[in-house]
């Protein structure tokens, strides 16, 4: 990675002893939704497999029990869920590919925005020093985090499906009741996917903020909130405070903007001349 001093590049355009602020590149809502779509692809695939292979077996088993006048059963057979495991692995790979595409497109958009802001505020062109390959490690790290989260979310959803099917089978509940219980669980899964997408895209932008700013020799930043009713009180108190990269902040665990869970705050770069 090529390191440079953005202050020296703009030295002739700014008075010595002054400071300039660069606004962070806005987080694109569309990218967050695409990330969420990738996660929900897994959930929809699991739901489809449940409809195609598990519910019919459940219905057949229930029909047999009723014919034999047995009100309750012995529980679902583990063989009912064998296909589901294979399907989940395929869905995970597809979701990972979708997430990678989102992250790479967002990294490119971020760099374009960072250079445009440097041009607007400082009047300098950073195309010679800002290179796409600089972000490769950050992209790979974000992909690795995403794979872990996709795997965890998938395993949790499969576990929820198995528990619901087994509990309803033991109770001898109708297919309608089973479907209703499954809808509840998939609703929980979708809400979790929304939170993961929001959190991971915020963290990705926070990582890009740190990398591009420190690469440019920017050592300080101002904590900037989203200035809306969703900002948590603790972060409201941090708004406008100045920190150095690498030093603890007043946020949870001393983390920088965007790194605490579901934090939408950003680091506004401070260039000192």
Instruction: Quick: pLDDT tens for 98-120.
Output: 999 999 999 999 999 999 999 99
Residue 68: pLDDT over 80:
no
Instruction: Give residue 7's pLDDT.
Output: 95
Percent of the chain surpassing pLDDT 70: 97
Domain presence at residue 252: no
Distances (CA, A) of 106 to 99, 125, 193, 204, 219: 10, 21, 19, 9, 24
- pTM of this prediction? 0.91
Q: Which of 152, 244, 206 is nearest to 25 (CA)?
A: 206
Residue 75: pLDDT over 70:
no
Domain presence at residue 47: yes
Domain presence at residue 210: yes
Domain presence at residue 269: no
Better-predicted residue by pLDDT, 205 or 79? 205
Beta bridge partners of 31: none
Q: Give the chain as a 3 state SS string.
A: CCCCCHHHHCHHHCCCCCEEEECCCCCCHHHHHHHHHHHHHHHHHHHHHHHHHHHHHHHHHHHHHHHCCCCCCCCCCHHHHHHHHHHHHHHHHHHHHHHHHHHHHHHHHHHHHHHHHHHHHHCCCCCCCCCHHHHHHHHHHHHHHHHHHHHHHHHHHHHHHHHHHHHHHHHCCCHHHHHHHHHHHHHHHHHHHHHHHHHHHHHHHHHHHHHHHHHCCCCEEEEECCCCCCCCHHHHCCCCCEEECCCCCCCHHHCCCCCCCCCCCEEEEEEEC
Token pair 């595409």 is found at 101
**What pLDDT digit, counting tens, does each position of 219-254 carry?**
999 999 999 999 999 999 999 999 999 999 999 999
Instruction: Give residue 4's pLDDT.
Output: 96
Domain presence at residue 102: yes
Better-predicted residue by pLDDT, 94 or 65? 94
**What pLDDT digit, counting tens, does each position of 160-202 carry?**
999 999 999 988 899 999 999 999 999 999 999 999 999 999 9
Domain presence at residue 11: no
Domain presence at residue 79: yes
What average pLDDT does the segment 134-143 reach? 96
Instruction: Give residue 74's pLDDT.
Output: 62
Instruction: Give residue 71's pLDDT.
Output: 57
Domain presence at residue 14: no
Residue 67: pLDDT over 90:
no
Instruction: Give residue 70's pLDDT.
Output: 64
Residue 73: pLDDT over 60:
no
The count of domains in the chain is 1
Q: State which residues form the domain around 179.
A: 27-215
């Amino acid at each position: 990675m090529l390191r440079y001093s953005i202050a020296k590049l703009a030295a002739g355009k700014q008075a010595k002893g002054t400071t300039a602020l660069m606004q962070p590149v806005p987080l694109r809502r569309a990218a967050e939704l695409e990330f969420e779509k990738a996660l929900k692809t897994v959930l929809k695939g699991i739901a489809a497999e449940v409809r195609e292979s598990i519910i019919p077996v459940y219905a057949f088993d229930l029909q047999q029990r009723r014919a034999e006048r047995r009100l309750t059963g012995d529980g679902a057979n583990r063989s009912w869920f064998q296909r589901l495991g294979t399907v989940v692995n395929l869905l995970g790979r597809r979701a990972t590919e979708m997430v990678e595409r989102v992250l790479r497109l967002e990294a490119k958009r971020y760099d374009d925005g960072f250079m445009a802001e440097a041009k607007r505020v400082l009047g300098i062109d950073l195309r010679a020093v800002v290179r796409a390959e600089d972000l490769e490690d950050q992209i790979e790290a974000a992909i690795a985090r995403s794979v872990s989260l996709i795997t965890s979310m998938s395993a949790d959803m499969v576990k929820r499906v198995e528990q619901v099917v087994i509990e309803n089978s033991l109770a001898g509940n109708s297919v309608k009741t089973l479907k209703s219980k499954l809808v509840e669980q998939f609703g929980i899964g979708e809400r979790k996917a929304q939170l993961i997408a929001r959190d991971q895209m915020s963290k990705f932008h926070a990582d890009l903020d740190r990398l591009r700013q420190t690469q440019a020799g920017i050592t300080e930043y101002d904590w900037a909130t989203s200035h809306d009713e969703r900002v948590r009180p603790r972060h409201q108190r941090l708004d406008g405070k100045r920190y150095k990269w690498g030093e603890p902040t007043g946020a949870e665990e001393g983390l920088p903007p965007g790194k605490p869970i579901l934090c939408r705050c950003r680091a506004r770069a401070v260039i000192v001349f």
